[in-house]
Structure 1
Amino acid sequence: MALTPRQFDPNSDRIVAVTLDPNTITSVDPDEVHEWRIAIYDLVEQNVFAPARVKATGPYALHISIVGNYIVLDVRNPDTYEPIAAHYLSLTPFRRLIRDYFRIRESYYDAIKTGSTYQIETVDMARRGLHNEAAELLRTRLDNKLEMDLNTARRLFTLICAVQPFASRIDERESNLPTVLFVCSMNSVRSPIAAALARRFFPGRLIVRSAGVRSGKADGFVHEVMEEIGIDMSVHTPHTMDELVANHFDLVITLSNDAPEAVERRGLEMGAVEHWPMPDPTETEGNREAVLSAYRTLRDTLQQRVRERLDKLVAAPAKVG
């Protein structure tokens, strides 16, 4: 099948940020997280990319999640994180290629250990052939949806391979795990920190979401102070309450003054709702250290409250599905 031709604008038709959904792509292994970061860096460093049939112009942010047997490629505005286009890509046609990717990767590592130039070149040729096949398939499956050149498709396939083995296979519609939602003003600081801590303390024991009253931007200070305790927040994309798929939560915790009213307007089904008013560290005045101190205080306060409150929730009798 011939691909739809496209003329790319190198200034606007490109991805400038990639984030991963922490609810569906999960790992606490630093080597695995490092592999994601390398794949993301390679993709962002050099690409041509644009969603088809939309009025919005780039550059773009790409948010990746995994739902069932699908990779969700969610294109957003990189400044506001407003949604532009989202497409579900079935993994089924890529299963053999993903398996071969890891098989060839292991062969490549073995060849490097033996130091055989011939073996390294042979495996490298097989690796390039696999990437080309996968890239062509990716472009074909996304034709007239998401447009990219062959090299971008190669890098995107590498990223899919890096994250796919660590997908959460929990189906929230059928799960009896307790569900928690944290809400703050813009889902940039307070609620994503709380959600990340909840996932850290109770892995596989809770389904945790976070959202904002309105759209926000990723916050570099959040990345910095969470990195200090070993949590990678560079993959976070702010979401609004309007983007919530689920409508029922066992516990909703609001963290900003405007959140309780917004939650009430949203009409969520809630087992319980609690308000934890938390200061917004973005309003802190002073030098860099003063601002970082405010972020650390928020992080440490939330660590204690999240652990204590959610420990009671996971200890409660399981829901009956």
Structure 2
Amino acid sequence: MKRVYFLCTGNSCRSQMAEGFARMLLGSQWEVQSAGVETHGLNPMAVQVMGEVGIDISKQSSKLIDPDYLNRCDVVVTLCGDARDRCPVTPPQVQRVHWPLPDPAQTTGSDADKRCAFRKVRDEIYHRIENSELFK
């Protein structure tokens, strides 16, 4: 079974959404996990916008990077520059990919503005996973 790790700074929204989509899209052919260089808890807005597309991530939790899992992965996807820069070194056989996505949790404005930012990032993650040659 292949393994993928989605990494972000706090493992609160982008990497959590990626984990949810990858579990759905990649099925049993891939072991899917997410983590952060820090833990910030699961962002309620990420849970809400994923629920809008029928994916429940409410049982997921914010986790720190597990070096053992990291080193056994086939693919590591960083979703922000901070995770890319602070991610521990991996063996040469681990394919590392960077998807620079904005942090929707940093959006200011109304709840509608924030929800819109989360939806935009959610949809971008979905399209990247669905269309990536990494998972074929």
Q: Tell me, what secondary structure is at the counterpart of 2:81?
A: coil
Name the SS for the 1:211 alignment partner. Answer: strand
Say whether 1:267 aligns with 2:61.
Answer: no
Offset at 1:268? Answer: 2.4
CA-CA distance at 1:178 after TM superposition: 1.6
Equivalent position of 1:217 in the other structure = 41
Q: Using structure 1 for the length normalisation, give the TM-score.
A: 0.40
- Please say if residues 129 and 135 of structure 2, whose CA atoms lie closer than 8 Å, have aligned partners that are also in contact: no
Q: Which residue of 1 aligns with 2:51?
A: 227
Rounded to whole Å, the distance in 2 between the matches of 1:294 and 1:239 is 23
Amino acid of the structure 1 residue aligned with 2:11? N
Q: Distance in 2 between the 1:185 and 1:314 partners?
A: 23
Task: Confirm whether residue 300 of structure 1 aligns to residue 123 of structure 2.
Answer: yes
Report SS of the residue matched to 1:301.
helix
Map of 1:226-245 to 2, 5 A cutoff?
226-241=50-65, 243-245=66-68
Distance (Å, rounded) in 2 between the aligned partners of 1:218 and 1:259: 17
Q: Whose radius of gyration is greater, 1 or 2?
A: 1
Q: Is the CA contact (8 Å cut-off) linking 2:78 and 2:98 kept in structure 1? A: yes
1:251 alignment counterpart: 75
Offset from partner CA, 1:13-63 (integer Å, 9 cap, x none): xxxxxxxxxxxxxxxxxxxxxxxxxxxxxxxxxxxxxxxxxxxxxxxxxxx
Match of 1:118 in 2: none
Match of 1:313 in 2: 134
TM-score under structure 2 normalisation?
A: 0.92
Shift of 1:200: 0.7
Alignment match, 1:140? none
- Partners of 2:14 and 2:103 within 8 A in 1: yes
Quote how far apart the aligned CAs of 1:220 are: 0.7
Q: Distance in 1 between matches of 2:130 and 2:123?
A: 11
The separation in 2 between residues aligned to 1:290 and 1:222, in whole angstroms, is: 14
Match of 1:203 in 2: 27
Q: Is the 8 A contact 2:5 2:75 kept in 1?
A: yes
Shift, 1:267, TM fit: 2.6
Contact persistence 1:183–1:253 (CA under 8 A): yes
1:314, distance to aligned residue in structure 2 (A): 4.1
Question: What amino acid is the match of 2:64?
Answer: T
* Corresponding position: 1:178 with 2:2: yes
| Other structure's SS at 1:277 match | coil
Would you say the 8 A contact 2:49–2:118 is kept in 1?
yes
* Conserved 8 A contact 1:281-1:295: yes
- Contact 1:215 1:239 survives alignment (8 Å): yes
Q: How far, CA to CA, are the matches of 2:62 and 2:120 in structure 1? A: 21
Q: Residues 244 and 236 of structure 1: is their aligned pair in 2 closer, same or farther, counting only changes over 3 Å? A: farther
> Which 5+ residue runs of structure 2 have no aligned equivalent?
none
- CA RMSD in angstroms comes to 1.3
Q: Residue type of the partner of 2:89?
A: G
Q: Is residue 205–residue 314 contact of structure 1 (8 Å, CA) maintained in 2?
A: no
Aligned residue for 1:204, secondary structure, equals helix
Alpha-carbon distance between aligned partners in 1 of 2:94 and 2:57, rounded to the nearest angstrom: 28
Q: What is the identity, as a one-letter code, of the residue corresponding to 1:234?
A: S
What is the Cα deviation at residue 244 of structure 1? 4.5
Question: Which of 286, 301, 311 in structure 1 is aligned with 2:109?
Answer: 286
One-letter amino acid of the counterpart of residue 313, structure 1: L
Supply the AA of the counterpart residue of 1:302: I
Letter in 2 for 1:231: I
Quote the Cα distance in structure 2 between the aligned partners of 1:313 and 1:190: 18
Query: What 5-or-longer segments of structure 1 have no aligned partner?
Result: 1-176, 316-321
Per-residue deviation at 1:245? 3.7
Q: Name the CA distance, whole Å, in 2 between partners of 1:228 and 1:260.
A: 29
- 3-state SS in 2 of match to 1:231: coil
In 2, distance between residues paired with 1:226 and 1:298? 11
Q: Give how far 1:313 is off.
A: 3.4
